[in-house]
Amino acid sequence: MSTKPRLFSGMQPSADSLQIGNYIGALLQWKEMQSTNDAIFCVVDLHALTVPQDPALLREQTRRTVAQYIAAGIDPERSILFIQSHVPAHPELAWILNTLTGFGEASRMTQFKDKAAKQGTDAASVGLFAYPTLMAADILLYDTNVVPVGDDQKQHIELTRDLANRFNSRFGTTFVVPEPVILKATARIYDLQNPEAKMSKSAASDSGVVWMLDEPSKTAKKIKAAVTDDDRVVRFDRAAKPGVSNLLTILSAFTSTPVADLEASFEGRGYGDLKSTVADAVVATFEPIRSRALELLADPAELDRILATNADRAEAIAQPKLDEVYDRIGLLPRR
Q: Work out how close the CB of 9 gets to ligand TYM at its nearest, in angstroms, rounded to a whole number.
A: 4
Task: Please say if 201 is a catalytic residue.
Answer: yes
- Tell me the backbone φ, ψ of residue 266, rounded to 5 degrees: -100, 10
Cβ proximity to ligand TYM, 251 vs 272, nearer residue: 251
Cβ proximity to ligand TYM, 4 vs 265, nearer residue: 4
Task: Please say if 154 is a catalytic residue.
Answer: no
Q: Where are the beta strands (DSSP E) in 100-243?
A: 146-148, 179-181
Q: Work out how close the CB of 268 gets to ligand TYM at its nearest, in angstroms, rounded to a whole number.
A: 30
Nearest to 89 by CA among 323, 327, 334, 328: 323
**Active-site choice (4, 31, 113, 115):** 115
Cβ proximity to ligand TYM, 233 vs 259, nearer residue: 259
Q: Assign 273 to helix, strand or coil.
A: helix
**Whole-angstrom distance, CA of residue 183 vs CA of residue 181:** 6
**Active-site choice (113, 154, 184, 198):** 198
Q: Assign 256 to helix, strand or coil.
A: coil
DSSP 24: I
Q: Assign 23 to helix, strand or coil.
A: helix
**Whole-angstrom distance, CA of residue 320 vs CA of residue 328:** 12
Cβ proximity to ligand TYM, 108 vs 305, nearer residue: 108
Q: Contact 42/2 with Cβ under 8 angstroms?
A: no
For ligand TYM, which residue has the nearest CB?
A: 25
Cβ proximity to ligand TYM, 163 vs 199, nearer residue: 199
Q: Work out how close the CB of 117 gets to ligand TYM at its nearest, in angstroms, rounded to a whole number.
A: 17
**Active-site choice (201, 222, 275, 321):** 201
222 alpha-carbon distance from chain centroid: 23
Binding positions for ligand TYM, rule: CB under 6 A: 8-12, 21-22, 24-26, 44, 47, 135, 138-139, 147, 149-150, 152-153, 187-189, 198-200
Q: Work out how close the CB of 29 gets to ligand TYM at its nearest, in angstroms, rounded to a whole number.
A: 9
Q: Work out how close the CB of 197 gets to ligand TYM at its nearest, in angstroms, rounded to a whole number.
A: 9
Task: Please say if 31 is a catalytic residue.
Answer: no
Burial call 246-270: b when 16+ CB within 10 Å, e when fewer: bbbbbbbbbbeeebeebeeebeeee
Burial call 300-320: b when 16+ CB within 10 Å, e when fewer: eeebeebbeebbebbbebbee
Q: Work out how close the CB of 194 gets to ligand TYM at its nearest, in angstroms, rounded to a whole number.
A: 12
Cβ proximity to ligand TYM, 150 vs 195, nearer residue: 150
Residues acting as catalytic residues: 115, 198, 201
